Amino acid sequence: MTSRFFIITSCLISLVGASTFNPVCATKLNARPLPTERELKDFENSNVHAPEVSRYSRRMDYRDAERAKAEQEEAARKEAAERAVQATKERAQAGQKAVQKALEENNRGVMFGKQGRWTEAIHAHESACQSEPGNKQYRINLSAARCAYAQDRINHKDLDAAAGLLRKALAAAPDNGMAVKLLNETMKKQGRDPSSADERIVAGDQLAAIGEWEAAMVEYQTALQLENTAKTSTKMGDLALHYGQISTAINWYRQAIAKDKDYGPAQRQLGIALLSTRDPKVLTDAASALRTAVILDSKDHLAGQQLVELWRHQVASNPLLAENHLGLAGALQLTGDFNGAESEYNKLQALEPQNPGLGAGRASLVRARQHAMAEKHKLAAETLFNQGLKREALAEISQAAMMEPKNSKYQFLLGECLEANGDLRGAHQAYLTCVLIDPEKNKEAAYRMKEMQRGNVQRTMGGVAPQQLSYPQHVQQVPQQQQYAQAPVQHMAPSPAMQKNMFEGGSGMQSNHQMGFRTHDDNAAQPVAQAQAVSQPVSAQAPMSPFAALGQTGRVPQHNPMAQAPLQQAAPKAVGAAPQLNIPAEMVARVVELETARNYDGAVAVLREALNSNLQNAEVHHRVAVNLLAGGNITDAIAEFRIASALRPSNKEFAGDLARAMAIHKRSMQNAFGEGGPASGKEVAAK
């Protein structure tokens, strides 16, 4: 075995050595190359097929993926561009077809109108307006067709159909004067006053109730043109809210509140509009508006329902927040659900026993229950009084007056019941208490006292409801000094029990703003409920009207270029207290000093400076107007009187001063142009 291995090894070594030192030369082949498969097989004339492709494909790398994605995106862009071009072409074609169709429908409507086929004409014109809404001429034609058909209905005594057609005619073209004229005449025939804003609002409400919003819009707009009041502005807001224009509706409601903050429907609708925005930032304003609406009108169930639902949603979203339970308790209490309010107060106590609003809330709940019971006695007294049961009525109203002795309505009804039962002294005392509680709003009680002093006493008043007692129209003109001459009583401070908190409509206490919005307005001023002294003269409570001085001379101020005679003693008297103007006391003192010195321009400058911080102060605008009129600037005075009346439309004094100022201006203009001038002996007197 060893020898064999040795021999093999020696052979290998010899071979390696030979290859190293003697290179081998390859033999050159001269033969033909071996034939290929293509040459051996005739693929064209044989049944031999190409070999199958392998089922294992090459794996795509990232470059292939990116290339494919780019190709897909490019194809998608081209397809989208083609679709856009095609859509543009289709829209252009559709627009052309709509224009052509509108023209054809309009021509058909004109043809039908010439034939007196008004129904078909109106239908054709409506189709034309739908095909091309921006074409004003088509709307004018539609309005004319409706107006012509309305004339036909008037001739056939169908006034309701005529009125509806005329309103739709005005909706299509508001400047259709013929439609306005015919609508006014039709309403007169229906027994309605077309110049009354209230009548137009009633008509608009009836139309809105049946879904005729276009016709309702015509009535609301007409009412707004007749009287720009809180009521008409609210109706315009309702119209905008129906069409989904929430921001426009909110603006209308805010304008209505600026004109009359005590108009409950405007407050309610503002709250509803704010809630419809679904913006958490406005929930505080929404809750405040709804709460104000409920306070102004406890029978406004919609406002109460919205207020309660708002707070229930807040409690559901965060049941562990004490402030939410406090807000819900106040809402339930305002809506008369006293048991629900008590339950929320109990939950609040369990969550936060030391909450500062808990004690005030429970106390207000007790007063609310007591007031509800007093209201029941008052309603029972009115019912019994109307039925002639005077003694029973007196018993019921006496209980209500004992529960709330500072309620002027209870005292007035108590006085009527006592007077009907023959207790004149007690009746006089009840009327006097009524006047002391609220001197400005209880002129009826003052009138009854005056009649009793004159001996005009009706001992039997059964069968006449207290709210239906009619007083002469001059009761509003009885001087305050004469009304209260027999009652030399000094100032009467309000009872602490009558101070209201946030649950009863007052400003309330400071709340912990731990949630997204407040339960009440912390910045609201405390209500001022102090009664004025009955022995205090009127001149110390408000500035003397400039027309009182004009009545002495019967002429306009001397600085007026239209004036014919100087004004004597037209200076407004001083205001006794700063709250009358709601401006700083030092400004009031400066105004009084300047007015005393008859520097009316200076007083106007100071008052205008005060207006820079609060343009909504109607009393300051009225005071500015008084000084302007006293200084002879009647044109600017009328403008300020207008502003004051717009801010306080319910103030009859402001409206009366405006009317008298306009009468003075009119007569001065007549004198200036020779109509009843000095030669005729006529004077410009303020009546």
Mean pLDDT of the region 480-498: 35
| Residues above pLDDT 70, as percent of the chain | 71
pLDDT at 36: 67
> What's the distance, CA 529 to chain centroid?
28
Query: Is pLDDT above 90 for 250?
Result: yes
pLDDT of res. 16: 53
Kindly indicate the confidence band of residue 605, based on its pLDDT and cuts at 50, 70 and 90: confident
Handedness of CA 57, 58, 64, 65 (dihedral sign): positive
Written out in words, the top-level CATH class of the domain with range 538-680 is: mainly alpha
pLDDT band at 38 (very low <50, low <70, confident <90, very high): low
66 vs 18, more confident:
66
pLDDT confidence of 583, banded at 50, 70, 90?
confident
Domain boundary assignment for the chain: 95-173, 369-465+476-492, 538-680
What is the per-residue pLDDT across 145-181, written as a single tens digit (0 to 9) for each? 999 999 999 998 999 999 999 999 999 999 899 999 9
Query: What's residue 196's pLDDT?
Result: 92
Q: Please report which residue ranges of 297-388 form alpha helices under DSSP H.
A: 301-317, 322-334, 338-351, 356-386
Lowest-confidence pick of 100-109, 284-293, 403-412, 677-686: 677-686
3-state secondary structure of 353: coil
Residue 651: pLDDT above 80?
yes
pLDDT, averaged across the chain: 76
Residue 115, CA distances (Å) to 110, 119, 268 in order: 9, 11, 51
pLDDT digits (tens, 9 = 90+) for 420-441: 998 888 888 888 888 888 887 7
Region 252-269: mean pLDDT is 94
- pLDDT tens digit sequence for 93-145: 887 888 888 888 899 889 988 888 999 999 998 888 888 888 889 899 999 99
- 525-537 per-position pLDDT tens digit: 333 333 333 333 3
Tracing tokens 């309660």 back to the chain, one arrives at: 308
Both tokens assigned to 247: 């921001």
Domain boundaries 369-465+476-492, corresponding CATH code? 1.25.40.10
SS3 36: coil
Residue 494 class from Cβ within 10 Å (0-12 exposed, 13-18 middle, 19+ buried)? middle
Q: Which residues contact 635 (CB under 8 A, 6 or more apart)?
A: 665
What is this structure's pTM?
Answer: 0.56
Please classify residue 32 by burial: count the beta carbons closer than 10 Å to its beta carbon, then call 0-12 exposed, 13-18 middle and 19+ buried: exposed
End-to-end CA distance of the chain: 158
pLDDT of amino acid 44? 62
Q: Which residues contact 105 (CB under 8 A, 6 or more apart)?
A: 124, 125, 127, 128, 131
Packed helices 159-172 and 213-226: angle between N→C axes, nearest 10 degrees? 80
Q: One fold for both 95-173 and 369-465+476-492?
A: yes
pLDDT number for residue 298: 86
Q: What is the pLDDT of residue 32?
A: 73
**Distance between CA 597 and CA 221 in Å, rounded?**
48
Which pLDDT belongs to residue 479? Answer: 34
Give dist(CA 286, CA 167) in Å, integer.
35
pLDDT digits (tens, 9 = 90+) for 204-230: 999 999 989 989 999 999 999 999 999
What's the Rg (C-alpha) of the chain? 45
CATH class of the region 95-173: mainly alpha
Whole-angstrom distance, CA of residue 122 vs CA of residue 143: 9
pLDDT of residue 662: 82
